[in-house]
Structure 1
Amino acid sequence: MTGSPVKRSFAGATLDYLGARFVGAGPETCSYTTQAIQIPLRDGVELAADLYEPELPDGQAPAGLILIQCCYGRGAGISFLNARVFAARGFQALFVSTRGTYGSGGIFDPGSNEQSDSQDIVVWMRQQPWYHGSFATLGASYLGYSQWALLHDPPADCVAAVIPVGPHDQAWHTWGTGSFRLDRASWSDMMSKKEDEKGSFLSLLANLPGLSFLRSPELDRAVAGLPLEDSLKKYFGDRAPWLFEYLQHPDVEDIYWTSRRHQIALDRAKIPILLISGWYDTFTTQTMHQFKHLHDRGVDVSLIVGPWTHVQGSGLHSTPDMLDFLAERLAKNGKYKYPPARIFITGSEEWRSMPTWPPPTQPKTLYLQENNSLAFKQPMQDAGPAFFIFDPLDPTPSIGGNQMSAGGRVDDSAYADRSDVLVFTSEPLSEDLEILGIPSVHLIHTSDPPFADLFLRISEVDDRGVSHNITEMYKALDPSRDTSQPLILDLQDCAHRFRVGTRARLIVAGGSFPMYARSLGTAENRLRSDKTAPQKHTITISGGVSQLILPVNAAV
């Protein structure tokens, strides 16, 4: 069933005007109509959608068609960034609700149906009188994942894609560190409590994943409970059945994840793609991997990375760039003005354009010292080890960083006051030090018992002694590894300039909770046991065997 086109209301035009000013989209070129549509799929399910048609002078064709697939509803809050702002500038937009969400039939099973459903949407689009022969895709986060699912088998008439903060691999995010990513629980809680899309302002905001105030104390208690799986089952009941499938499949190579992983899309995609991320996004690592893989293949791929969290990177600061990109790649009437990589350098707080990412750098080594310092000289051979004890019953807290809801650049000085954290800090730098790329940490490390995790973070300490995070990583360690060999751990990409007088800091801990399910310190499954054991971590310092290696811009 298809409804009649509805002209934009005065309230809608006002919302669009205010929203466009907020995101810097520039002036509108037209108004538009909205038409409710049902899209049939091969299995009999119908998806609910809205078709946005620009109101143009007779004989003038739309700038192009944009396909958006969304699991967060089609209300005013979410549709502005994904459809309305583009329709008011001459583009058609087909805004489709994912299977099992907001009027669409079927059952929502995150990630499992997007590959086939998106192909069915394209087949249906080609049969419509308003289809002009080509389209682009757009949308952030899960909407970006849906684009990668479509590009698993790229349609010949898909000519461009705009993918902000979008993962291509759900298994990587959920279990890639070896520990369960607990934002899967908070996201599942949100998705299983979907509000009506015509509801309150708060229900519209609920369509933006990652807003910290949406977390409930009850969920926080459930995430902290042991055994974790039982605690979550008690909280969720029969809601979010997919969450418990996630818990039962910790092996990223398990066949369960096959339909939810789209690395092959990075091998097959040939169209121009704009990737957008933030240094504090939940999916930064995947976006940087996407760019490198596509760029190495010679694909026309562009990258923007700002000082943003997940929500900020979803389009709040990059709508003008999206419009420029689509004007060139889809409408063929504009110009995207940046080279392949547009990168924000924290510390110097500047944007910089680059031909690729990461740029050429030289490694510079800082050695861990026995007095909890970092230095460019190697420590003495008789330097004593450093150690800390991680207690699963009082886990080291997550502070800022790449969390879904409470992330970002924050004051993380509190880590230095905790007994379960090692903090190695350099002397004030005598000259600027700019790092561009992936820092690496080499540790001679043991834990007793051997069942343990490591959380690493690089931060900057300013001249007031206040520390702010730059980049980080997390890993569940292999208890059978050879501890006589260095443990080599790559952190996430970063771009930061340490100014003269600031200090570099390496933070080492045994957990980051509630970002990741904590190590219990036993051989039992960390999701299904309530038995815990404190873990003593020991790092060898002598002879410079434990070190922080920075990718330094030699031109600075």
Structure 2
Amino acid sequence: MLAGALKRSFSAASLDYLGARYVGAGHEICSYTSQPVRIPMRDGVHLAADFYAPEIPAGKNPAGLILIQCCYGRGSGISFINARIYAARGYQALFVSTRGTYGSEGVFDSGRSEHLDSQDIVIWMRQQPWYRGSFATLGASYLGYCQWALFNDPPEDCVAAVIPVAPHDQALHAWGTGSFRLDRASWSDEMSRRQDEKGSFLERLANMPGFSFLRSPELDNALARLPLEKSLRTYFGNRAPWLFEYLKHSDINDEYWTPCRHHAALDRVKMPILLISGWYDSFTEQTLHQFKHLKQRNVNVNLIVGPWTHVQASGLFSVPDILDFLAENVAKTGSYKHPAAKIYVTGAEEWRAMSDWPPKSQPKTFYLQDRKSLGLVSPAENATPASFIFNPLEPTPSLGGNQMAAGGRVDDSELADRSDVSVFTSEPLKEDLEILGAPTVHLMHTSDPPIADLFLRLCEVDTRGVSHNVTEMYQALQPSRETGKSLLLTFRDCAHRFKKGTRVRLLVAGGSFPLYARSLGTSNDRVRGENTVPQKHTVIVADGVSRLVLPECQMSGNVA
């Protein structure tokens, strides 16, 4: 036992036991000790951390070492799912608070210091008497982003990584659609307020970023007022200075974003990696890109995608898979027998084992028709276009989908009843239709004025007439676009079976608020503009120029 190390308390052991039962972690093999440590950075800053050491019989070695970097504290709830659950199964765990958070010195500047700090943590770690020559990394969301920052220069002694629901590119998340994702404001609000780990476990859990269903009504009001940047400055005051840098740099290729974009890591990592996501996660697109890129490089990479939101996919339902992965690649005591891709197919409500994602598919085309319909036959040359008006002062609301906390599969029937949404719905299907991959829409579209956004959602209408979301996309349109050409719009990937008797629905809208900053319809940018102009959208359907293309598959892969 190391000097200064504390044995696990009875209350901590009880929480570990109950938590392990909930997440399906199986039996503990030992208790553990924890020891607070300080880790020096190259600029003199010290990071706060806890080192967890399993209490194992003399002469036996730990199963391995896991490094976790976290900006959300090291309290009981978050340390359980990231460190203690593994320490009780024989692993050492170094749980580090990132710069400027929860006892670590320095200033938190979202995403910009993790690359150098993570390298310094590894250098310090190698000098410790308990270091045995190799380690793995683990952690979801921002904790996973820290891993990608480390992997810009991947240490040779890092032997495995578990990365759930994590971006490698913060710029792409913030501004990749051309509109600003407003969950960056709610996340920044929580990050700038909550540096206190006092209070009950439930109070601390409620205060963790990601549980933003508890965000303040005052922030909602601030997001609704114009101009957006001025309103947020009034609300935040001196808090969250990084948020206003985000707002200032709308070009993702701006030099400002360079420290926050870690595409190079995808070209450099060699160790086995387990990626986890959910169909309703905020970062699904980036996780699937990571998998595809690593697979093409022949990296040993595994992917799990469940019917989950961001919080659900952060590891709550994947602990058995994570433990199996660590047993093979770190402890060397087991094998990870799962396929390259373990995919949940909604609608069919079953897991599939696949050798790759997406699987091969055939295009299934539905044509947008007049009379708000989708059909398999191209409409006539005189088919009437569909139109709607998007009013920035009464924006189309965000319902479910890929929101940080309020997302998921929801009844979105009310969207179809709105006057600012065009709806196209098929007849009941005569047979099952399974789609695996990214649907696309060829949309012949105009807007007046030309400054406008598009939000598209693919839905399933069940036999009772209730609509539920399947996948979606958002895009700020270029005012200089050629209106004589159809837009090619790509949805997020999905895996869904439309069962016989259900109907396919496409929703077309001009916004999704408060998930995205709305288009104001003026030449002033959406962050600083105050004046608004309603935007008339017209969808031309004549002669089949607008169509929905679904990636149809026969049942692909084995039931997992």
Normalising by the smaller structure, the TM-score range is over 0.9
Q: Separation in 2 of the partners of 1:160 and 1:34?
A: 23
User: Is the aligned partner of 1:223 residue 2:191?
Assistant: no
Alignment partner of 1:379: what SS?
coil
Pick closer, same or farther for the CA change 1:145–1:86 going to 2, 3 Å.
same
2:267 aligns with 267
Cα distance in 2, alignment partners of residues 51 and 199 from structure 1:
23
Deviates more, 1:204-213 or 1:365-374: 204-213
Give SS of 1:444's match.
strand
- Whether the aligned pair in 1 keeps the contact of 2:277 and 2:287 (CA below 8 Å) is yes
1:201 and 1:32 map into 2 onto residues whose CA distance is 21
Contact kept, 8 Å, 1:3 with 1:36, in 2: the verdict is no
How many angstroms apart in 2 are the aligned matches of 1:272 and 1:476? 37
Work out the CA distance in 2 between the residues paired with 1:153 and 1:234: 40
Is 1:30 equivalent to 2:33 in the alignment? no
> Partner residue of 1:336?
336
Matches for 1:162-181 after TM superposition, within 5 Å: 162-181=162-181
| One-letter amino acid of the structure 2 residue matched with residue 124 of structure 1 | W
Q: How large is the Cα RMSD of the aligned pairs?
A: 1.0
Counterpart contact for 1:67–1:138, Cα < 8 Å: yes
Amino acid corresponding to residue 188 of structure 1 in structure 2: S
Residue 459 of structure 1: aligned partner = 459
C-alpha contact (below 8 Å) 1:139/1:162 kept by paired residues: yes
Alignment-mate amino acid for residue 31 of structure 1: S
C-alpha separation in 1, matches of 2:411 and 2:208: 25
- The CA deviation string for residues 326-380 of structure 1, in whole angstroms up to 9 with x for no partner, is 0001111011121100000000100000000000101110000001011111111
Quick check: 192-201 or 528-537, which moved more?
A: 192-201
The DSSP-based 3-state class of the residue aligned with 2:193 is coil
Query: Could you tell me whether the CA contact under 8 Å between 2:191 and 2:209 is conserved in 1?
Result: no
> Is the 2:372–2:424 Cα contact (8 Å) retained in structure 1?
yes
In structure 1, the residue matched to 2:188 is 188
**CA distance in structure 1 between the aligned counterparts of 2:548 and 2:505, rounded to whole angstroms:** 10
Q: Given the two structures, how large is their TM-score scaled by the length of structure 2?
A: 0.98
What's the CA shift for 1:555?
4.8
- Give 1:214 shift: 2.0
Q: How many angstroms apart in 2 are the aligned matches of 1:3 and 1:258? A: 42
Aligned partner of 1:392 in structure 2 is 392
Amino acid at match of 2:480: S
The separation in 1 between residues aligned to 2:226 and 2:37, in whole angstroms, is: 46
Partner of 1:196, secondary structure, is coil
TM-score (normalizing by structure 1): 0.99
Find out whether 1:106 has 2:78 as its counterpart.
no
Any idea what SS the aligned residue of 2:154 has?
coil
User: Hey, what's the Cα distance between the residues in 2 that align with 1:3 and 1:287?
Assistant: 41
Runs of 4+ with >4 A deviation: none
Contact 1:277 1:313 in 2 (8 A): yes
Q: Is the Cα–Cα contact under 8 Å of residues 72 and 207 in structure 1 kept in the other structure?
A: no
Q: Secondary structure in 2 aligned to 1:192?
A: helix
Structure 2 CA distance, aligned partners of 1:160 and 1:44?
Answer: 29
Structure 2 residue identity aligned to 1:140: A
Q: How does 1:308-323 map to 2 (within 5 A)?
A: 308-323=308-323
Across the two proteins, how many residue pairs are aligned to each other?
555
Which consecutive residues of structure 1, in runs of 5 or more, have no partner in the other structure?
none
Is structure 2 residue 528 aligned with structure 1 residue 528?
yes
Counterpart for residue 353 of structure 1: 353
Find the aligned partners of 1:531 and 1:109 in 2 and give their Cα distance.
32
Aligned 8 A contact 2:101 2:195 in 1: no
1:196 & 1:513 partners in 2: Cα distance?
A: 31
Counterpart in the other structure of 2:129: 129
Amino acid at match of 2:282: T
Counterpart code for 1:430: K
Percent identical pairs in the alignment equals 71
Q: What does residue 66 of structure 1 align with?
A: 66
Residues 148-168 of structure 1 show CA distances to partners (whole Å, capped at 9, x for unaligned) of 000010000001000000100
Is the partner of 1:111 in helix, strand or coil?
A: coil
Q: Which amino acid aligns with 2:433?
A: L
Q: Output the amino acid matched with 1:19.
A: G
**2:251, 2:105 → 1: CA distance?**
31
The structural deviation recorded for 1:414 is 0.5
Aligned residue number for residue 54 of structure 2:
54
Q: How does 1:42-441 map to 2 (within 5 A)?
A: 42-206=42-206, 208-441=208-441
CA distance in 2, matches of 1:260, 1:181: 16
In structure 2, C-alpha distance between the alignment counterparts of 1:85 and 1:434, rounded to whole Å: 38
Post-superposition Cα deviations, 1:60-81, rounded to whole Å, max 9, x if no partner, equal 1000000000000000010010
Q: Distance in 2 between matches of 1:311 and 1:149?
A: 21
Deviations 1:68-111 (A, max 9, x none): 00000000010010001000000000000000000000000010
